[in-house]
Amino acid sequence: MKITPIGERVLLKPILEEEKTKGGIYIPESARENNKKGKVIAVGKLKDKESELKENDIVLYSGYSNEEFELEGEKYVIVDYKDIYAKLN
């Protein structure tokens, strides 16, 4: 199934952080930070400019104002374009 974000939004697949430290200690989910790194799956239309993002880019985003959902066993996040603050090269 193909998902296309509407408006100035970006569909991301969160990149999960390691569940255990280098020393071998497992970190419970409640103690982990919010996912703030993701892979771009699709980009909606911007009003005034062309998007700097394209499919498969890895980005950093604000972890608090997003909509998480699961589709066909995969987790996704939809964020506002303005909440993406860096692209990793």
List the chain pLDDT tens, one digit each, 89 residues.
788 899 999 999 998 776 777 788 877 666 666 558 999 999 999 888 888 899 999 999 986 777 889 988 999 999 999 999 999 98
Q: Is residue 2 part of a domain?
A: no
Q: Is residue 22 part of a domain?
A: no
- C-alpha closest to that of 12 among 52, 42, 32: 42
Q: Is residue 3 part of a domain?
A: no
- For the chain, the distance separating the N- and C-terminal CA atoms, rounded to the nearest angstrom, is 28
Q: Is residue 66 part of a domain?
A: yes
**Structural domain count, the chain:** 1
What's the pTM value of the predicted model, to 2 decimals?
0.79
